[in-house]
């Protein structure tokens, strides 16, 4: 069967909006356009109804109550509000924050800013499989610790952290626990109570909703979390986040969450099957390929592979009818290879050869087979071109060679 090109397999970056979500959103652009904060006419009330339905749908997906959901512009804002909000509100209690080295930049850079502001931040290392060590976490907690912020699942390698265990430790020590749930929510079961999460960042566009809308779950009891606002204004969202609500986006976000919840049991199995099919095809045809991060504790839709001796950007150029990402320096804004892979102990040489596949709701088996064939063919071609592959085949120990690094 012919597949339609190009193929999108970069669903950790963003996802297309599900047509059912679009359909739900459409009336809110034109007919139901009111400001949800307009309390004295029908237009406002209808908009508010949409917003509150969305709040219920988002809350339900993560086992929260609607009142605990705060709307934001996206997960970067949610992460900022969670971390800066706790830091400012509880500064008298302590100035220590714990996070991990493989967090998203929205968390790491927020922590770095707080360090300039007098906070102390511990960046926990990760083990070879990408997970934090719980003993290490325990040891890092001090009487001054006010917040632990650890992501649910990583955006590059899809590795899922022991969130419930971390949450239990945080609870025992009386420290708030913030989770960046961007990649996990809607893909695997996330429950703020079972997982002992106090604050949870969620993004709509990673779960087949629209861009520009996110949410922050903020626990109201056991314990009650208060956040200092970072945006001042009309006092919307219980004073934690002022600004006219993105009603259309919120309506779409809610619908997207509802669909994820309904379809997760079958969809996660389907995606896992496709992901494993892709992995098996690649591993059966190519030598010297390595999975980065744990295969056991991993999102069902993620595959991150290093294709030794084939540089990532040249690989992307060879499979230019397929949208995926690479951890190669050449593809990053900083010209540094992936800091996430580095944290796992993956050598820089292998980090340059990594490719991230992010499967999604609209990928088919035919597409997976096409991608596997293209990847295999391209790696073989580029290895014919690779002096490193040739040296490896001749048995040269490249780690002992003198390279003229520049």
Partner 1 sequence: MAYSDKVVDHYNHPRNVGSLDKNDPSVGTGLVGAPECGDVMKLQMKINPETQVIEEAKFKTFGCGSAIASSSLATEWVKGKTVEEALSIKNTDIVRELALPPVKIHCSVLAEDAIKAAISDWKRKNTEVEKPAASSAAGQS
The catalytic residue positions are: 330
Closer residue to partner 1 in complex, CB, 232/384: 384
Task: Find the shortest distance in angstroms from Cβ 405 to partner 1.
Answer: 4
| Residue 373 in the binding site for partner 1 (CB under 8 A) | no
Site for partner 1 in 287-326 (CB under 8 A): 309-314, 317-318
- Name the residue among 89, 344, 308 with its Cα closest to residue 218: 89
Closest approach of partner 1 to the CB of residue 206, in Å: 24
Choosing from 269, 295, 373, 385, the residue that interacts with partner 1 (CB under 8 A) is: 385
Binding-site member from 19, 125, 234, 387 for partner 1 (CB under 8 A): 387
Helix (H) or strand (E) holding 22: helix 19-25
Determine, following the binding rule CB under 8 A, whether residue 398 of this chain makes contact with partner 1.
Answer: yes
Query: Which of 298, 299, 278 lies closest to 289 in space, CA to CA?
Result: 278
For residues 258 and 311, which CB has a smaller minimum distance to partner 1 in the complex? 311
403 binds partner 1 (CB under 8 A): yes
Sheet containing 69-72: order of strands: 69-72, 214-218, 199-203, 176-180, 145-149, 96-100, 120-124
Residue 193 φ/ψ, nearest 5 degrees: -85, -50
**CA pair distance 198, 146, nearest whole angstrom:** 12
**Number of Cβ atoms within 10 Å of the Cβ of 116:** 7
Question: 217 vs 309, which CB is nearer to partner 1?
Answer: 309
Peptide bond into 223 cis (omega under 30): yes
| Shortest distance, position 119 Cβ to partner 1, whole Å | 33
CB of 231 to partner 1, least distance (A): 35
- Taking residues 321 to 360 in sequence order and writing x for each that binds partner 1 by CB under 8 A, - otherwise, the string is -------xxx----x-x---------xxx--x--------
CB of 76 to partner 1, least distance (A): 24
From CA 259, how far away is CA 338, in angstroms rounded? 33
The reply to whether 233 sits near partner 1 by the rule CB under 8 A is no
46 binds partner 1 (CB under 8 A): no
How many residues of this chain bind partner 1 (CB under 8 A)? 29
Q: Which stretch binds partner 1 (CB under 8 A): 24-32, 117-125, 279-287, 385-393?
A: 385-393
The distance of closest approach from Cβ of residue 406 to partner 1 in the complex, given in angstroms and rounded to an integer, is 6
Coil/strand/helix, residue 353:
coil
Question: Taking the CA of residue 88 as centre, how many other CA atoms within 13 Å lie in the half-sphere pointing to its CB?
Answer: 14
CB of 373 or CB of 398, closer to partner 1: 398
384 binds partner 1 (CB under 8 A): yes
Cβ-proximal residues to 279 (8 Å cutoff; 6+ apart), any chain: 291, 303, 305
Is residue 388 a contact residue for partner 1 (CB under 8 A)? yes
- Can you tell me the distance from the alpha carbon of 57 to that of 209, in angstroms, rounded to the nearest whole number? 13
Residues 145/96, Cβ–Cβ less than 8 Å? yes
Nearer to partner 1, 205 or 383 (CB): 383
Half-sphere exposure of 45 (CA within 13 A, CB side): 3
| Interface pick for partner 1 out of 29, 283, 390, 393 (rule CB under 8 A) | 390
CA proximity to 202, closest of 57, 85, 43: 57
DSSP reduced 3-state for 342: helix
Is 59 or 379 the residue whose CB approaches partner 1 more closely? 379
Q: Is 205 within 8 Å of 73 (Cβ atoms)? A: no
Decide whether 185 or 344 has the Cβ nearer to partner 1: 344
Positions in the binding site for partner 1 (CB under 8 A)? 309-314, 317-318, 328-330, 335, 337, 347-349, 352, 384-390, 398, 403-406
């Amino acid at each position: 069967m012919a597949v339609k090109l190009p193929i999108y397999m970069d669903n950790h970056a963003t996802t297309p909006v599900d047509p059912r979500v679009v359909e739900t959103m459409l009336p809110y652009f034109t007919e139901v356009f009111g400001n949800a904060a307009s309390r004295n006419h029908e237009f406002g009330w209808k908009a508010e109804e949409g917003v509150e339905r969305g709040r219920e749908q988002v809350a339900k997906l993560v086992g929260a109550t609607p009142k605990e959901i705060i709307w934001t512009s996206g997960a970067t804002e949610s992460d900022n509000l969670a971390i800066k909000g706790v830091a400012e509100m509880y500064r008298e209690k302590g100035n220590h924050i714990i996070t991990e080295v493989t967090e998203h930049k929205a968390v790491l850079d927020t922590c770095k800013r707080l360090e300039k502001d007098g906070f102390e931040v511990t960046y926990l290392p990760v083990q070879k499989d990408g997970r934090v060590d719980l003993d290490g976490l325990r040891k890092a907690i001090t009487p001054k610790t006010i917040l632990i912020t650890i992501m649910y699942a990583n955006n590059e390698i899809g590795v899922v952290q022991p969130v419930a265990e971390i949450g239990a430790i945080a609870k025992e020590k009386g420290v708030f626990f913030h989770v960046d749930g961007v990649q996990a929510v809607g893909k695997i079961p996330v429950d703020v109570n079972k997982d002992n999460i106090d604050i949870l960042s969620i993004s709509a566009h990673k779960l087949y909703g629209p861009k520009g809308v996110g949410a922050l779950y903020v626990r109201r009891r056991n314990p009650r979390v208060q956040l200092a606002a970072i945006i001042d204004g009309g006092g919307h969202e219980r004073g934690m986040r002022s600004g006219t609500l993105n009603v259309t986006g919120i309506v779409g976000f809610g619908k997207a969450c509802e669909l994820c919840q309904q379809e997760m049991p079958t969809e996660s199995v389907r995606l896992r099957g496709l992901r494993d099919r892709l992995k098996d095809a690649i591993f059966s045809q190519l030598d010297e390929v390595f999975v980065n991060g744990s295969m056991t504790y991993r999102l069902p839709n993620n595959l991150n592979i290093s294709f030794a001796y084939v540089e990532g950007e040249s690989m992307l150029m060879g499979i230019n009818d397929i949208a995926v990402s690479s951890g190669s320096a050449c593809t990053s804004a900083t010209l540094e290879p992936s800091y996430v892979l580095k944290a796992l102990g993956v050598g820089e040489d292998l980090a340059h050869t990594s490719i991230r596949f992010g499967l999604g709701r609209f990928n088919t088996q035919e597409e997976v087979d096409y991608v596997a064939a293209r990847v295999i063919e391209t790696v073989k071609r580029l290895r014919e071109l690779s002096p490193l592959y040739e040296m490896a085949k001749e048995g040269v120990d490249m780690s002992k060679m003198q390279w003229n690094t520049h």
